[in-house]
Amino acid sequence: MKRLLSNVIPSAIAMVLMLQLSIVSLGAQAEPKPKKPGWPIPVHDSTNYSKLLIDRLEYAWGDEEDTVNWEGQYWYGGDTNRLYIEGEGEDVVSGGEGGEIETLDVLYSRMVAPFWDLQMGAGYQSEYGPGPDKERGFAVFGIQGLAPYWFEIDANLRLSDDGDTSADLEAEYDWLLTQRTILQGRFETAYSANDVPEFGIGKGITNAKFGLRLRYEFRREFAPYIGVSWNKYLGDTADLREAESEDTDHSAVVAGIRMWF
């Protein structure tokens, strides 16, 4: 027994000492190093930014008339909360008169998932000349983000001040032919739950619009482009246009500039 104790006790003492040294060593490694004075924090989560994007500023040579088309957005905020001001419209410069502000929206946007924002706010639409100007307002609820395979999606549900309900969808995809040459495909459609004859809108799917634009980015912020677009009116909306002796489809060659600041 004495021989056993004489062998076990020193071994146990040695194990305890080794365990204590290991704990001390781990504690020294886990202890954070003091921060050097003047070093900034690695991520500025509270910083706000802004961006003005003119996605389309173009001249369109159409079948019956030429137009200047525009679409853009401005946003201000951080990664989670932002304010968006975005709009789209056209002005007839040859072969007719008038034009329209198709949408002009002011939206609060909140990120709810990586690459996806929920939005809500107010919208405005106007058509002017020839004849009396027409306008209406909306409550807008939407979602905007980047779908799988890098499709940019912007979808909105709109409730007008007259109680009319509609929805619109816009999707874009960029093919990188080179580091600076990009072919953009574009699709738009809309749906109306009501007949709105004063705006030439019938119940159901109103139209399908396709576009291809080839741009060259001299700088990331400045890219001229050329392309084509085609818009087909459908269903009751096409019937309303035919009754007014208006075309139910429209194609155009376009040239313009995309830029952001």
Q: Which CATH superfamily is domain 57-260 in?
A: monomeric porin ompg (2.40.160.40)
- Flag whether pLDDT at 238 surpasses 60: yes
Residue 52 · residue 261 · CB < 8 Å: yes
Residue 130's pLDDT is what?
83
DSSP state of 95: S
- The values of phi and psi at residue 64, to 5°, are -115, -25
Residue 36's pLDDT is what?
56
Amino acid at 173: Y
Mean pLDDT of 163-178: 97
- Flag whether pLDDT at 2 surpasses 80: no
Measuring CA to CA, which residue among 224, 188, 229 is closest to residue 212? Answer: 229
49-108: pLDDT as tens digits: 999 999 999 999 998 899 999 999 999 999 899 999 999 999 999 988 899 999 999 999
Mean pLDDT of 243-251: 91
Domain boundaries, the chain: 57-260
Confidence (pTM):
0.80
